[in-house]
Amino acid sequence: MVKQLKVIEMKKVRITQIKSGIKQPERQKRTLKALGITKMNRPVEVEATPQINGMIKAISHLLKVEEI
């Protein structure tokens, strides 16, 4: 008997950096890098997992977030 796996589609979010990370703590700079954000005003699309949502919440003052 073969079990079938359910495919769960995660919601995607578009993240855009709107404020500079220059004078921010190193931890926040590393969070920006972990999210894949490289430059200001350049959107990145990621899946909205609990881990990603936590990172977004930690640096929400630097980001603009849109659900796709």
Domains located in the chain, CATH noted: 12-67 (3.30.1390.20)
What are 3-44's pLDDT values in tens digits?
776 666 779 999 999 999 999 999 999 999 999 999 999 999
Q: What is the pLDDT of residue 7?
A: 65
Cα dihedral sign, 30-60-40-37: positive
What are 55-66's pLDDT values in tens digits?
999 999 999 999
- Residue 52 corresponds to which tokens in the numbers above? 């990603």
Q: What is the pLDDT of residue 19?
A: 97
What are 34-50's pLDDT values in tens digits?
999 999 999 999 999 99
> Rounded to whole angstroms, how far apart are CA atoms 26 and 21?
9
Q: What is the pTM (predicted TM-score) of this model?
A: 0.82
